[in-house]
Amino acid sequence: MDLTTAPVATVSATGSTAPLKVAVVVASNREGRFAPVISGWFLSHTADHPDIETDVIDVAELDLPVALTFRPDADAQDRLAAVASRLAAADAFVVVTPEYNHSYPAPLKNLIDWHRDEWQAKPVAFVSYGGVSGGLRAVEHLRQVFAELHTVGIRETVSFHNAGALFDDEGRHQDPAGCDAAAKVLLDQLVWWGHALRDAKAVRPYGA
């Protein structure tokens, strides 16, 4: 083939430059949870980001069925459809998760397992919190799960070790330089992968 005349695939300017739709998944539904502090901190970093639009998907508000079935009743179908459309619309995901017993919360696994195509060929990043481990053991488990769903896991994370002692009563981090820098790296990588995968799918649909 003459390379000078070979067709070149193009991606529209709209597809390349429109802000990424990022679903921020809040993974805890525990009573008295610390999740709103961590998710609020993260959203403060995305609020004025020119490349990102966020949609907060809080597992505590979803009321998803807990019994997986191929034949959910009409009410369950409505509840599933409502969140499925939001996951499908997302170009990328950020999971905000605590660590429960060396892993991630059951409601998050339930949300993951009810869906498949909605996750595929999209980047997923992790913001974790907990005790001495900072939730990183939960993240390592999640990487395996999301790899099975054909996502691209973002290498860099933000983790808060002994999280309860790091924030004041207004939800402000008391020494933010390190975590702010980590958030910037995470978002830079998420935006790069989000645009790359969205543009690639505009040229050639992903087939799993």
User: Class of the 20-28+35-62+76-201 domain?
Assistant: alpha beta
Q: Which residue has the higher pLDDT, 159 or 11?
A: 159
> Rounded to the nearest 10 degrees, how much is the dihedral formed by the CA atoms of 35, 38, 44, 50?
-90
Rounded to the nearest angstrom, the gap between the alpha carbon of residue 204 and the centroid of all alpha carbons in its chain is: 23
pLDDT band at 207 (very low <50, low <70, confident <90, very high): confident
Q: Which pLDDT belongs to residue 15?
A: 53
For tokens 């193009």, name the residue. 10
pLDDT band at 3 (very low <50, low <70, confident <90, very high): very low
Residues pairing with 24 in the sheet: 56, 94
CB 130 within 8 A of CB 138: yes
- What tokens appear for 7 in the block? 């067709």
CB 92 within 8 A of CB 193: yes
Residue 9 has pLDDT above 80, yes or no: no
- Domain limits of the chain? 20-28+35-62+76-201
Residues pairing with 123 in the sheet: 152
The rounded percent of the chain whose pLDDT value lies above 70 is: 92
The rounded percent of the chain whose pLDDT value lies above 90 is: 84
